[in-house]
Structure 1
Amino acid sequence: MRRLIAFDCAGETLAGTLDEAGGTTGLLIVSGGSEIRIGAHRGMALMAQAIAAAGHPVMRFDRRGIGDSTGHDRGFESSADDIAAALTAFRAKMPQLQRVIAFGNCDAASALALHAPAGLDGLVLANPWVIEAAADDALPPAAAIRARYAERLRDPRAWWRLLRGGVDLGKLARGLRKAAAPPPAAPQGLAARVASGIAAATCPITVLMARRDNTAIAFAEAWAGDAFAPTRERATLYECETDSHSFHRAQDRAWLLERLSAALG
């Protein structure tokens, strides 16, 4: 059974959707960006329906200032109170819950890494966001550019497009300059804070990556560095052979559902 709920958060009212089931392990879905709880391509709603059908309660919610919730949207880095309030409401609405696993994609994954409240029993982090691009930089992250160029160098059609003038040479030059910049010796800024947050978590962690997605490619570069070494030793990493950031294709959704079901147990 699916029903709408409302709960308090720092003086505001958050809207949520609860897919009820009788199981004792539940899934708390945290939305990324300024996305409402239904998710891209209705992905979160479809996921919740499938997980609940398998016997696990699922809760989705809009953080402050998003969708049906009141308040001001202050971004994922200020969502600690929202996540904690949602977890409290989930346990109150489903008192049989013994375990709660939280899932987030993109900056929702980073929000969970930074702000996972006590009382969560596992984190599933998909394509964590660690990119801090300049405001005037519309290019993908350097790691993604390098990966794309490496792929295109192996594609004869890309060479043919270049020879025929079908490539923006200015954009190509800017991309080459950015790709040539050496990666930092250690993660900085957001990447460093995400690494610290994951390392400090006391619950099991699953990391999911859409292997050819720009956000995942940038995270993979940071993940390979020393700052994430403690996390690599205890987190479980899975890669899906897709460029879909939201896992929206049927085969990608099936893969994601399989990974979430494994985390739920």
Structure 2
Amino acid sequence: MRHQLNFACEGATLAASLDNAPGAAGLLIVSGGNEIRSGAHRGMAMLAARVAAAGYPVFRFDRRGIGDSEGANGGFEGSGADIAAAVAAFRNAAPQLARIVAFGNCDAASALLLHQPLPVDALILANPWTYEAAAEAAPEDEPALPPAAAIRARYLSRLTDPKSLLRLLRGEVDFAKLRRGLSALRQPKSAAPPGSLAARIDEAAARVTIPATLLLATGDRTAQAFVADCPAALKRFPVERLASPSHSFAGADGDWLATRILEVMGRV
């Protein structure tokens, strides 16, 4: 059964949802971006119901300044106190809990790494966000390119797509954009600059002392950037890969996501 509740975080009242279940292991879902706790296309609400039906209580919340919660939105890099307060509220609402697994997609996964240590027992990190904010604000006449790994995967896919090859033969391709992409592929891959978000996430991964699992949609640009920029994290944590471009595990990909999460819940 799903309950709505509130909890406090540094003077603000935050909104949360609890899908109750009798299990001693529970799942804390941290929302990515500025999404409310139901997630993209209600994906996190449906995931919560599925995990709870398997016997594990699930807690979701809106961080400060998002959805039904009070306070100022400090973004994922300012969400450490929100996550810690949510963990405490989860334990209070489900007193049978002995273990908590925290799951986050996109910048929620990055937040779970950057704000360690947190009072949880395991992490599930999906498609962690590594883009710098400044990189997203390129001039309109010179849009920012995706990482080389994303360009390479996209071109390989198109080379096997008859429709894309036909467009090329007909001259229906933006050749200026094509040249720019090919030029990016020729550039040697450099390490993430010290102090960059990617470097800080990779360093944070090295300090994690609890079990963690990476879930990556191999066709997702965010996941591809993470793979390119965070080699230490890839070596440190076990990785599960899904051949999909869906960043939020939409549609049938939600079944794969739920299965992977339930596997982790059964191990903690």
Matches of 1:198 and 1:204, distance apart in 2: 11
SS in 2 for 1:239: strand
1:140 lines up with 2:141 in the alignment: no
Q: CA deviation at 1:166?
A: 1.3
Whole-angstrom distance in 2 between the partners of 1:11 and 1:177: 51
How far off is 1:117 after superposition? 4.0
- Secondary structure of 1:18's counterpart equals strand
Distance 2:187 2:162 in 1: 26
Q: CA 1:41/1:210 → structure 2, altered by over 3 Å: closer, same or farther?
A: same
Deviations along 1:202-240, whole A, 9 cap, x unmatched? 1100000011111111112224x3x43xx624x211001
CA–CA separation in structure 2 for the residues paired with 1:118 and 1:107:
16
Runs of 4+ in structure 1 over 4 Å off: none
Q: Displacement of 1:173 after TM fit? A: 2.9
- Specify the alignment match of 1:115 in structure 2: 115
Which of these residues, 157, 162, 175, is aligned with residue 151 of structure 1?
157
1:209 match: 216
Deviation of residue 182 (structure 1)? 2.1
Q: Is the 2:191–2:229 Cα contact (8 Å) retained in structure 1? A: no
Q: Which residue of the partner structure matches residue 257 of structure 2?
A: 256
Letter matched to residue 229 of structure 2? A
Deviation at 1:197, TM superposition (A): 1.4
Q: 2:148, 2:185 within 8 Å by CA — same for their partners in 1?
A: yes
Secondary structure of 1:7's counterpart equals: strand
> How many pairs are equivalent?
259
1:169 to 164, 170, 175: 175
Unpaired runs of 5+ residues, structure 2, are none
2: CA distance, partners of 1:32 / 1:138 = 22
Distance in structure 1 (CA, Å) of the matches to 2:100 and 2:123: 9
Is the 2:192–2:198 contact (alpha carbons within 8 Å) kept by the matching residues of 1?
Answer: no
Equivalent in the alignment of 2:199: 192
Compute the displacement of 1:156 (Å). 4.1
Q: Which amino acid aligns with 2:242?
A: C
Which residue is equivalent to 1:64?
64
Match of 1:27 in 2: 27
Query: Who is 2:15 aligned against?
Result: 15
SS for the counterpart of 1:170 is helix
Is contact 1:83-1:117 (8 Å) kept? no
Counterpart secondary structure, 1:5: strand
Q: Following TM superposition, by how much is the alpha carbon of 1:112 offset from its aligned partner in structure 2, in angstroms? A: 0.4
Which 5+ residue runs of structure 1 have no aligned equivalent? none
Task: Answer yes or no: is the 8 Å Cα contact 1:187–1:222 preserved in 2.
Answer: no
